Amino acid sequence: MTKRILTRRQIIKDATKAGIGSALLLNPGINLFGSDVTKTRVILIRDEKAVDTDGNPDPQTIQKMLDNAVQKLTGGADIKESWKKIIRREDIVGIKSNEWGYLPTPSALENWIKKRVIEAGVDANNISINDRGVLSDPVFQKSTALINIRPMRTHAWSGVGSLLKNYIMFTDSPSSWHPDSCADLAKLFELPMVKGKTRLNILVMLTPLFHGVGPHHFNKKYVWPYMGLIVSLDPVAADSVGLQIIQAKRKEFFGEDKPLNPPAKHIYLADTRHHLGTADLKKIDLIRIGYKEGILI
Amino acid sequence: MLLSHFVKIYDNMNCHLYGKLIYNKLIGTALLIVLLLLNMKHAKTNIFEELPDSLNGWTSENVILLNDKVSLYDYIDGGAELYISYGFKKAVSRKYIKQGQPEVIVEIFDMNTSENAFGVFSNTRYEEDSSFGQGSQYVEGALLFWKGKYYISVMTTEETDESKGLIYKLGRIISERITETGNRPGIIDLLPSEGLDKSSILYFYHYIWVNSFYFIADEDFLLIGDKTDAVLAKYGSQGNRSYVLIIQYDDNETAGKAYNNFINEYFPEGEFRAISQLEDNKWMSVKLIDNTFYGVFNGITEEYVSALLSDIELTYKKINIDYK
């Protein structure tokens, strides 16, 4: 064997020396317009009023959370300026959502993003919200900018349904991305319809799913009101933070380590193999805003 | 019963020749009927056609037949891979609805063999009882069980008294109407019984599942591929868990290669010992017996791992009496 593979022992040894994932390659980062910020910054924002007792999102609260997170992420003086650091007025914007029936992207968030993009100067006709129909959507077909948004959940084959996995609808053969438990999902970001277009990633952690049973991999017993949003320019970093929270919840719930089955290796490989972003928590500038109880990270 | 009835008819005919002819015909017919009845009793049930159209005010109109991988992908997308990795053959789905109640969905997977059906079940359950089929788990609105070559899921999106009642009722109907039972995979017998958490046994033959309890490596360096029998199990209790991995290869040569891969990747500087302590202070060992690879991981003490290895060897000897 010439290629060194990643074993548990290697991870333990690296952690002893310089922190888990010290061998991971640092992503060069994504430049904001008119900014020299290149750090892998991730905003984790939570609000205890984000969902009601039935888990339904409160539109006003989650809109405020999103605004606050985007402003903190971009460093804009106000909301409008913050969005202008992400979106140009001439952009054609695809908002890549997720319509999975049991845990879809809340429409209040989709619509709020659209409103903010319009306020940034984009014509409403040049904005589309879509998931499974992106390939035939004229706006997505000629898009110059993408906003990636979805709820995080465990997944029976890829470990988690992540921001990385959310782009699987940009291919007409999703199952061809399944080998090795979806190891190479990061390559989706190299597809012509996608490459270089992603401006913002929002991992919805309002009521994440931390475990799944049965063919549909959903049970209300395994969702909990985390009441958070994870916002970043780097989908790998956002996914990595979300993954840590899911793992921590599993340990809390089951009373012992219960690794995702199978592991969400596509997030790790998005960094080490495909260099799309950074999965190494030690290299992520995680900014926590708001409600701290039960934050799990 | 039928035979004695015909004998009585014969007696009433006073042994007349014509009566004898009739007698022979009647005996033949009776035997045919008995054979047909016996055949009906032992005929394999087509469980796909046995689900009721209505039950306790619940109705089901559509039957969805999933008879290949493509239709399974369409039905549950990425979730299909779990079933495909265990030899999925076909499945049926029925949705039951009732005014004012959440829907209840029944799915019956024909996994081709009982070993595969157990495998899927073992991959998804974390507790197990014998309430349904050959092993089941109920989790707040979801009943999962296996019987024979079938893996069954009956679930609702919202557990109510009525939807839970229907789930139990359907579970019992399905369990009763699947008349065949089946064996669990033989490799499970290689697990020592002392300290074994029986609800944790996970059977598989696709390398994807090797990290289910404990991350070992990110690639298939143990050469499991997609057809080598393997089993994982937990030993001890929460807070004091050890994990046993057993892989049974087709031949000794492949087993030897896998063993060497493990040693080379885990101990690249040649520091391997029969029982080793890793940097997290936990103890581990790997062992090769003929074509079978054993791994013991996450042991709290060296002595515990040593004792577990002894049990493993004893169990192997009991099952393979030729082993020396």
DSSP assigned state of B128: -
Residue B124 CB contacts under 8 Å (≥ 6 apart), including other chains: A213, A214, B82, B144
Q: Spell out the SS3 assignment of A229-270.
A: EEEECCHHHHHHHHHHHHHHHHHHHHCCCCCCCCCCHHHHHH
Given the structure tokens 């890829």, which residue do they identify?
A158
Question: Of A8, A254, A256, which is closest to B216 when you measure between CB atoms?
Answer: A8
> Between chains, do B141 and A263 touch, taking CB under 8 Å as contact?
no
Top mean-pLDDT range of A1-15, B24-38, B186-200: B186-200
What is the C-alpha separation between B12 and A180, in angstroms, rounded?
Answer: 77
Question: Of B155, B213, B215, which is closest to A214 when you measure between CB atoms?
Answer: B155
CA distances from A130 to A90, A98, A170, B235 (A): 20, 8, 11, 47
> Between chains, do A268 and B218 touch, taking CB under 8 Å as contact?
yes
Contact of A217 with chain B, judged by CB distance below 8 Å, is answered with: yes
Local confidence band at B42 (pLDDT 50, 70, 90 cut-offs): very low
Closest-CA residue of chain B to A154:
B79
What is the C-alpha separation between A3 and A272, in angstroms, rounded?
Answer: 14
Q: How far apart are the CA of B66 and the nearest CA of chain A, in angstroms? A: 13
In the structure encoding, which two tokens stand for residue A195, read together? 């490459």
CA distances from B117 to B43, B96, B109, B196, B260 (A): 21, 24, 8, 21, 32
SS3 A60: helix
Give mean pLDDT, residues A102-108. Answer: 96
Domain for residue A258, yes or no? yes
Contact of B126 with chain A, judged by CB distance below 8 Å, is answered with: yes
What does the pLDDT look like over A281-294, one tens digit per residue?
A: 888 999 999 999 99
Say how many CA atoms lie within 13 Å of B233 toward its Cβ.
Answer: 24
CA distances from B106 to B143, B177, B224, B314 (A): 10, 15, 33, 43
Question: Of A4, A7, A261, which is closest to B216 when you measure between CB atoms?
Answer: A7
CB A8 within 8 A of CB B215: yes
Closest-CA residue of chain B to A10:
B266
In the structure encoding, which two tokens stand for residue A290, read together? 């708001």
Which value, in Å, is the radius of gyration of the alpha carbons in chain A? Answer: 18
Closest-CA residue of chain B to A178:
B78
Residues of A in contact with B125 (CB under 8 A): 213
- What are the DSSP calls for B209-220, one per residue? GGGSSS--BSS-
CA distances from B318 to B190, B289, B323 (A): 9, 13, 9
Mutate to test the interface with A, among B66, B74, B81 (most CBs of A within 10 A): B81
Local confidence band at A177 (pLDDT 50, 70, 90 cut-offs): very high
Domain for residue A295, yes or no? no
Within chain B, strands assigned E span 54-55, 58-59, 63-66, 90-96, 104-110, 136-139, 142-147, 150-156, 202-204, 229-235, 242-248, 276-277, 283-289, 292-299
Domain for residue A261, yes or no? yes
Domain for residue A37, yes or no? yes
**Strand pairing partners for B77?**
none
Give mean pLDDT, residues A27-49. Answer: 67
Asked if this assembly's ipTM is beyond 0.95, the reply is: no
CB A26 within 8 A of CB A282: no
> Between chains, do B78 and A156 touch, taking CB under 8 Å as contact?
yes
Contact of B213 with chain A, judged by CB distance below 8 Å, is answered with: yes
Q: Does the pLDDT value for residue A25 go beyond 50?
A: no
* Of residues B244, B196, B195, B251, the one with CA closest to residue B223: B251
CB B112 within 8 A of CB B90: no
CB B211 within 8 A of CB A2: no
pLDDT > 90 in chain B, percent? 74
What does the pLDDT look like over B9-39, one tens digit per residue?
A: 444 444 454 555 556 666 666 665 655 554 4
Give mean pLDDT, residues A112-121. Answer: 97
Residues of A in contact with B214 (CB under 8 A): 8, 259
SS3 B256: helix
> Between chains, do A181 and B241 touch, taking CB under 8 Å as contact?
no
Domain for residue A297, yes or no? no
Domain for residue A201, yes or no? yes
Contact of A256 with chain B, judged by CB distance below 8 Å, is answered with: yes
Contact of B271 with chain A, judged by CB distance below 8 Å, is answered with: no
Angle at the Cα of A295 (from A147 to A166), degrees rounded to 5? 25
Q: How far apart are the CA of B261 and the nearest CA of chain A, in angstroms? A: 8
Local confidence band at B3 (pLDDT 50, 70, 90 cut-offs): very low
SS3 B150: strand
What does the pLDDT look like over A194-220, one tens digit per residue?
A: 999 999 999 999 999 999 999 999 999
Contact of B139 with chain A, judged by CB distance below 8 Å, is answered with: yes
Contact of B13 with chain A, judged by CB distance below 8 Å, is answered with: no
Domain for residue A132, yes or no? yes
Contact of A262 with chain B, judged by CB distance below 8 Å, is answered with: yes
Contact of B153 with chain A, judged by CB distance below 8 Å, is answered with: yes
Contact of A289 with chain B, judged by CB distance below 8 Å, is answered with: no
**pLDDT score recorded for residue B10:** 42
Q: Which domain holds residue A229?
A: 8-290
Give the global pTM.
Answer: 0.87
Domain for residue A3, yes or no? no
Residue B115 CB contacts under 8 Å (≥ 6 apart), including other chains: B182, B183, B184, B185, B203
Contact of B273 with chain A, judged by CB distance below 8 Å, is answered with: no
**pLDDT score recorded for residue A72:** 96
> Between chains, do B81 and A9 touch, taking CB under 8 Å as contact?
no
User: What is the domain count for chain A?
Assistant: 1
In the structure encoding, which two tokens stand for residue A28, read together? 């060069």
Residues of A in contact with B218 (CB under 8 A): 5-7, 263, 265, 268-269
Contact of A292 with chain B, judged by CB distance below 8 Å, is answered with: no
